[in-house]
Amino acid sequence: MSYALYERQCEIGVVTLNRPERLNAISGDLLAAFSQSLKDAVADDECSVIVVRGEGRAFCSGDDLKEFGIQSTNEASIKAHITAIQEITHLMMGSDKPIVGAIHGFAVGGGFEWLLNCDIVVAADNLVAYFPEMDWGQFVTGGVTHLLPQSIGYQRAMELLLLGERQTADRLLQLGLVNRVVSLEELQDTAFGLATKIATKSRFSVSRLKKLINKDLGSALWQAVKFEEEVTIEAFSQPGAAERVAGFISRKK
């Protein structure tokens, strides 16, 4: 079974995280499948807009901490894991195809980062999003150290990142981090409705718009992605990192 799937419905490419039994938690296999599905969508000449969604009860519940021991075995495994995470941001934000996120349930850690990497976000009213990384001694990725202050301002970004408090869909709408909040039953129709509207527009103009806006974000975004990668690798390697993760899992239980 693949942990991410790609299919196309007319001009809309659909990328689905497909590890519902683990709330689409981020594992090495899920990262590889998500990356390949995004590459398939980007390479599909018949696809003009991409919808990213999650199967089951959540969009993505963040890192699968049960795999932390595998991911942190040695320097090579740590670097491979973090590089794979950051590749998703490169694919999402580096593509000239707009991405509509259909986000429900949990969007935690990396899942919250991928929400922020979408161009337009439709959130279900049951969405809960937060950054737990500071609680378990790790670091954020996905370019959020640049994107979040740009989007909501320095103090609010620091609040979300430092405190790691749970944010509701309505709170994210108030902050301007999602575009629509709808019922769970309306989520897919609303997201696909927006994607369909985008698909009717000039593909040339839409692609150039995304490229120009992302270029306008500047090299600072990609510098932030690189710095996040370096710091996260360092955090994984810190003495006692595994113990902090184990303690975090125990507190969650």
Sheet holding 128-130, edge to edge: 106-108, 128-130, 167-168
Residues with Cβ < 8 Å from 43, sequence gap 6 or more? none
> What residues contact residue 2 under an 8 Å CB cut-off, 6+ apart?
18, 33
Residue 147 near residue 221, CB atoms below 8 Å: yes
- Helix (H/G/I), strand (E/B), else coil: 95: coil
Question: How many Å apart are CA 235 and CA 79, to the nearest integer?
Answer: 11
User: What are the φ/ψ torsions at residue 102 (nearest 5 degrees)?
Assistant: -110, 95
Which of the following is catalytic: 11, 21, 75, 113?
Answer: 113
Task: Kindly state the tokens that stand for 35.
Answer: 């990356």
Which residue is catalytic, options 46, 55, 133, 234?
Answer: 133
Tokens of 156: 């609010």
| 11 noted as active-site residue | no
- Determine contact, residues 84/31, Cβ cutoff 8 Å: yes
| Cβ–Cβ under 8 Å, residues 195 and 183 | no
- Asked if 133 is an active-site residue, the reply is yes
Residues with a catalytic annotation lie at 113, 133
